[in-house]
């Protein structure tokens, strides 16, 4: 299928120097043979992607990237009937998904939280803790595990998630999806794309989806709709543009898990139990708009400019326990009631050029660019800690569903503002040292600033306080790839990243940024004529300069904290034989404090299981056996995790090893229409998507449930 990426590359090839002769260059009757042109596309219709953009802006072969990269294609999303980013990332190799509430969560890898990219643009809007768009507007989800500092800038050492939007296609295509399932889980989606003029120089795509559903938790309801539209237009054969707009509205009942007993034990209640008042609610409203301009030069170089702006509103009103349940009386000492209204604005721009470079008789690849992003947060509201807001606390509430916590008449008495700004210049050079050997060198020069203040309606607004800061920070990268065999590549890499800090030394100076360093070695192997790709990676990460309390000067800090994350990962993706598709990943990782005071030697977070397994496989029977029938099997498994270390009075809440199994039965009615029945959590395993404190966030995963999906495609 010709996607915009494929078309752009074809245009680039056709207009490369020497490929086409100019008028008058050919003698009469002379025929010139054109060289072979190989086209690689990032948006594929099978499980195995040949390339990714998360590590280099332009499509790079996965074997050419000396890092761990996983790619979730549109085919995988459709086959597994994925709807939200939670669905996608919770099933990708090495990623741990941790729920916050039913609208958003946290996504971690290798011992820290992942960063966000949109179409390759780094974002200062965090991935975790903020609602993202549903998958209806995306064609590919890419995950780079390990520091992504050259292209990302400041951030954690975990890596980055790149969300690649759907683009218009050159032929008309329509898709309709209808779903229904347990807990009145109903969803509709429509996706239409095609040319908008006779020449095909203007193309469009529109996606609309709507969700209306309940959950296993009592009195919890969710409605969400998404609208996405995008246009591609060809100014000329060399210059193209893209515009897009997306809007998502989500109105849901607030639910953020259960408290525990005051001694740390889990509550003995059904998974449907809801300890939150029935007036709890969340509202997310997200608008995103952007553009892209791309020019292909005659020397195979391309220049690209991208810019976007996201405006997001988040309103919530809730009452939640601030203490555990006393077993003797089955009461909760206090409930906090609060209400907040936040406005978030994220703006970003990215410009880069990429192309070949001839040096010492060999052809190399160079990428140079610059980007800028800013994230502004403005909030106002009321909570029990606000001035004159003690009335928002309710004492001694019996545990019940719903609890006897009346809805308050809230007066806003607090406000806040913060601004995060980041800019940088980056470059990456891939040296073709010898036919089987490539060296990748990269660097970024970054500026970073963060400021915050107390604002109205707080009765005592404060001036801006400047926190994390970095100027001219250099982030290096180096990697080696050696093709030991046409189907086997060995690689090694070093990556660096920095994170500004706000804590101060006793001399009032701000601590230097944290510095994360990763060493990774691995192999990437193709089997069965490239139909199956297997990767194996070993990594060691040190995060140094972390703030540690200065015991000689209470209230001040020293940059001497250090943690270590190490382990190995394995992934297998592709189609080993006709009709069988496989995606499997295994992670074995350990994090611990090298120096963190009394925590030295302990895990960085007890949340992180030592081992995780993600498996999905789907088999479509041949026509002569069971025409149109397919069977799918999915497994998500993890070893033991806990809410924290034991104390003298409170035990950690511990989740033992568990596995959640999914089964799917599909039937293709004809070449356009297919039905699938997903049976999720087949064995009704009891598990938690988050282990919280004694007051809240102990969240059950869904029990056994089913989803029936009808998918119709034209043509």
Cis-peptide into 715, omega within 30 deg: yes
* CB neighbourhood size of 211 (10 A): 20
Q: Is 12 helix (H, G, I), strand (E, B) or coil?
A: helix
Residue pair 325/294 in contact by the 8 Å Cβ criterion:
no
Burial string for 54-64 (b: 16+ CB within 10 Å, else e) reads bbbbbbbebbb
Q: What is the mean pLDDT of the chain?
A: 92
CA distances (Å), origin 651, targets 258, 262, 646, 648, 695: 16, 9, 5, 8, 14
Query: DSSP class of residue 698?
Result: B
pLDDT band at 28 (very low <50, low <70, confident <90, very high): very low
Question: For the residues 319-329, what does the mean pLDDT come to?
Answer: 96
147 part of a folded domain = yes
Q: What's 236-302 look like in SS3?
A: CCCEEEEEEEEEEEEEECCCCCECEECCCCECCCCCCCCCCCCCCEEEEEEEEEEEEEEEECCCCCE
The token pair that represents 177 in the structure block: 């999806």
Largest CA distance in the chain: 100
Instruction: Render pLDDT for 337-368 as a digit per residue (tens, 0 to 9).
Output: 999 999 999 999 999 999 999 988 899 999 99
pLDDT band at 2 (very low <50, low <70, confident <90, very high): very low
CA distances (Å), origin 552, targets 508, 555, 557: 15, 10, 10
CA angle at 256 for the pair 251 and 258, rounded to the nearest 5°: 145
* CB neighbourhood size of 295 (10 A): 17
Instruction: Render pLDDT for 515-557 as a digit per residue (tens, 0 to 9).
Output: 999 999 999 999 998 899 999 999 999 999 999 999 999 999 9
Instruction: Render pLDDT for 304-314 as a digit per residue (tens, 0 to 9).
Output: 999 999 999 99
Instruction: Render pLDDT for 631-666 as a digit per residue (tens, 0 to 9).
Output: 999 999 999 999 987 777 777 899 999 999 999 999
Cis-peptide into 410, omega within 30 deg: no
26 part of a folded domain = no
Split into its structural domains, the chain has a count of 1
> What span, in angstroms and rounded, lies between the C-alpha atoms of 648 and 666?
53
Q: What's the pLDDT score for residue 360?
A: 87
Q: What's the pLDDT score for residue 502?
A: 87
Q: Read off the CATH number of the domain in which 142 is found.
A: 2.40.170.20
Residue pair 171/200 in contact by the 8 Å Cβ criterion:
no
Instruction: Render pLDDT for 417-447 as a digit per residue (tens, 0 to 9).
Output: 999 999 999 999 999 999 899 999 999 999 9
Q: What's the pLDDT score for residue 527?
A: 92
29 part of a folded domain = no
* Sequence-separated (6 or more) residues with CB below 8 Å from residue 294: 8, 239, 240, 241, 302, 303, 304, 305
Query: DSSP class of residue 63?
Result: G
Query: pTM for this structure?
Result: 0.92
Q: What's the pLDDT score for residue 8?
A: 37
Query: DSSP class of residue 56?
Result: T
103 part of a folded domain = yes
Q: What's the pLDDT score for residue 9?
A: 33
CA 179 to chain centroid: 24
Residue pair 276/320 in contact by the 8 Å Cβ criterion:
yes
Instruction: Tell me which of 326 and 646 has the higher pLDDT.
Output: 326
Residue pair 191/166 in contact by the 8 Å Cβ criterion:
yes
19 part of a folded domain = no
Residue pair 439/479 in contact by the 8 Å Cβ criterion:
yes
Residue pair 633/662 in contact by the 8 Å Cβ criterion:
yes
Q: Which residue has the tokens 């979730």?
A: 72
Residue pair 148/497 in contact by the 8 Å Cβ criterion:
yes
> What span, in angstroms and rounded, lies between the C-alpha atoms of 323 and 335?
8
Residue 312 belongs to domain spanning: 51-714
> What span, in angstroms and rounded, lies between the C-alpha atoms of 297 and 539?
39
How does strand 186-195 pair with strand 202-214?
Answer: antiparallel
Residue 608 confidence (pLDDT) above 70: yes
DSSP secondary structure letters along 73-88:
-HHHHHHTT--SHHHH
> What span, in angstroms and rounded, lies between the C-alpha atoms of 677 and 669?
14
> What span, in angstroms and rounded, lies between the C-alpha atoms of 225 and 197?
29
Residue pair 59/52 in contact by the 8 Å Cβ criterion:
yes
Q: Is 410 helix (H, G, I), strand (E, B) or coil?
A: coil
15 part of a folded domain = no
Residue pair 139/88 in contact by the 8 Å Cβ criterion:
no
* Sequence-separated (6 or more) residues with CB below 8 Å from residue 562: 542, 543, 544, 545, 546, 593, 594, 595, 596
Q: What's the pLDDT score for residue 27?
A: 43
Q: What's the pLDDT score for residue 665?
A: 98
> What span, in angstroms and rounded, lies between the C-alpha atoms of 141 and 231?
21
Q: Is 152 helix (H, G, I), strand (E, B) or coil?
A: helix
> What span, in angstroms and rounded, lies between the C-alpha atoms of 459 and 167?
49
Residue 64 confidence (pLDDT) above 50: yes
How does strand 173-181 pair with strand 705-714?
Answer: antiparallel
pLDDT band at 389 (very low <50, low <70, confident <90, very high): confident
CA distances (Å), origin 47, targets 43, 240, 580, 691: 10, 29, 10, 33
Nearest to 471 by CA among 419, 518, 421: 421
Poorest-pLDDT segment among 34-48, 148-162, 208-222, 280-294: 34-48
How does strand 115-118 pair with strand 159-165?
Answer: parallel
Q: What's the pLDDT score for residue 78?
A: 97
Cis-peptide into 63, omega within 30 deg: no
Question: For the residues 184-210, what does the mean pLDDT come to?
Answer: 98
Q: What's the pLDDT score for residue 706?
A: 98
- Length in residues, the chain: 715
* Sequence-separated (6 or more) residues with CB below 8 Å from residue 214: 183, 184, 185, 220, 221, 222
Helix (H) or strand (E) holding 623: helix 623-626
The token pair that represents 208 in the structure block: 């609309």
The token pair that represents 106 in the structure block: 């946290």
Q: Which residue has the tokens 């509202």?
A: 283
Q: Is 91 helix (H, G, I), strand (E, B) or coil?
A: coil
* Sequence-separated (6 or more) residues with CB below 8 Å from residue 625: none
17 part of a folded domain = no
CA angle at 63 for the pair 57 and 67, rounded to the nearest 5°: 65
34 part of a folded domain = no
Instruction: Render pLDDT for 138-169 as a digit per residue (tens, 0 to 9).
Output: 999 999 999 999 999 998 999 999 999 999 99
The token pair that represents 617 in the structure block: 């496989």
């Amino acid at each position: 299928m010709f996607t915009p990426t494929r078309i752009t590359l074809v245009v680039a090839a056709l207009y490369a120097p020497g490929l086409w002769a100019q008028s008058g260059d050919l003698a009469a009757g002379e025929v010139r043979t054109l060289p072979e042109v190989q086209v690689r596309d990032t948006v594929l219709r099978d499980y195995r992607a040949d390339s990714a953009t998360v590590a280099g802006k332009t499509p790079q072969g996965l074997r050419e990237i000396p890092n761990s990269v996983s790619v979730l294609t549109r085919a995988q999303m459709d086959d597994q009937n994925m709807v939200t980013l939670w669905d996608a990332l919770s099933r990708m190799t090495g990623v741990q998904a941790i729920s916050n509430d039913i609208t958003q969560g946290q996504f971690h890898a290798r011992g820290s939280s992942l960063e966000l990219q949109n179409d390759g643009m780094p974002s200062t809007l965090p991935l975790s803790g903020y609602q993202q768009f549903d998958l209806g507007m995306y064609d590919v989800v890419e995950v780079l595990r390990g520091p992504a500092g050259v292209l990302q800038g400041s951030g954690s050492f975990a890596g980055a998630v790149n969300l690649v939007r759907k683009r218009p296609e050159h032929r008309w295509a329509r898709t309709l999806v209808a779903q229904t399932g347990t807990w009145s889980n109903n969803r509709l989606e429509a996706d239409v794309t095609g040319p908008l003029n006779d020449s095909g120089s203007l193309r469009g795509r529109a996606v609309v989806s709507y969700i209306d559903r309940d959950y296993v938790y009592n009195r919890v309801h969710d409605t969400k709709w998404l609208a996405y539209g995008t246009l591609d237009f060809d100014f000329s054969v060399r210059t193209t543009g893209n515009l897009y707009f997306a809007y998502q509205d989500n109105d849901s009942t607030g639910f953020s898990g259960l408290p525990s007993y005051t001694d740390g034990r889990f509550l003995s209640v059904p998974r449907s139990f809801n300890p939150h008042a029935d007036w709890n609610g969340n509202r997310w409203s997200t608008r995103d708009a952007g553009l892209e301009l791309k020019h292909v030069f005659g020397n195979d170089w391309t220049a690209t400019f991208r810019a976007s702006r996201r405006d997001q509103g988040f309103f919530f009103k809730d009452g939640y326990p601030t203490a555990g349940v006393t077993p003797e009386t089955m009461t909760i000492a206090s409930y906090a009631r609060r209400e907040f209204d936040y406005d978030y604005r994220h703006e970003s721009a990215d410009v880069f050029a990429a192309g070949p470079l001839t040096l010492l008789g060999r052809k190399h690849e160079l990428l140079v660019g610059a980007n800028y992003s800013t994230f502004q947060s403005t909030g106002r509201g009321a909570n029990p800690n606000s001035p004159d807001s003690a009335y928002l606390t309710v004492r001694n509430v019996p545990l019940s569903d719903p609890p006897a916590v009346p809805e308050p008449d809230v007066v806003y008495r607090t406000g806040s503002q913060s601004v995060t700004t980041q800019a940088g210049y980056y470059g990456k050079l891939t040296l073709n040292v010898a036919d089987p050997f490539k060296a990748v060198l990269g660097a970024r020069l970054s500026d970073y600033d963060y400021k915050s203040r107390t604002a109205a309606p707080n009765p005592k607004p404060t001036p801006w306080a400047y926190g994390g800061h970095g100027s001219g920070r250099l982030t290096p990268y180096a990697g080696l790839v050696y093709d030991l065999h046409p189907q086997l590549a060995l690689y090694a890499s070093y990556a660096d990243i920095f994170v500004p800090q706000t804590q101060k030394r006793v001399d009032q100076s701000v601590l230097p940024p944290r510095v994360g360093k990763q060493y990774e070695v691995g192999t990437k192997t193709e089997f069965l004529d490239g139909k199956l790709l297997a990767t194996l990676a070993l990594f060691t990460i040190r995060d140094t300069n972390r703030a540690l309390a200065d015991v000689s000067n209470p209230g001040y800090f020293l940059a001497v904290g250090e943690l270590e994350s190490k382990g190995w990962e394995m992934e297998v993706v592709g189609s080993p034989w006709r009709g069988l598709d496989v995606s499997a990943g295994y992670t074995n990782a350990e994090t611990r404090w090298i120096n963190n005071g009394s925590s030295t030697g302990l895990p960085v977070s007890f949340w992180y299981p030592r081992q995780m397994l993600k498996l999905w496989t789907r088999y479509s029977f041949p026509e002569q056996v069971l025409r149109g029938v397919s069977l799918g099997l999915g497994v998500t498994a993890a070893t033991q995790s806990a809410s924290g270390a034991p104390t003298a009075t409170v035990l950690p809440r511990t989740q033992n090893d568990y596995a959640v199994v999914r089964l799917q039965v599909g039937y293709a009615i004809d070449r356009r229409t297919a039905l699938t029945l997903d049976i999720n959590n087949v064995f009704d395993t009891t598990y938690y998507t988050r282990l919280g404190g004694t007051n809240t966030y102990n969240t059950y995963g869904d029990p056994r449930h089913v989803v029936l999906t009808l998918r119709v495609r034209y043509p």
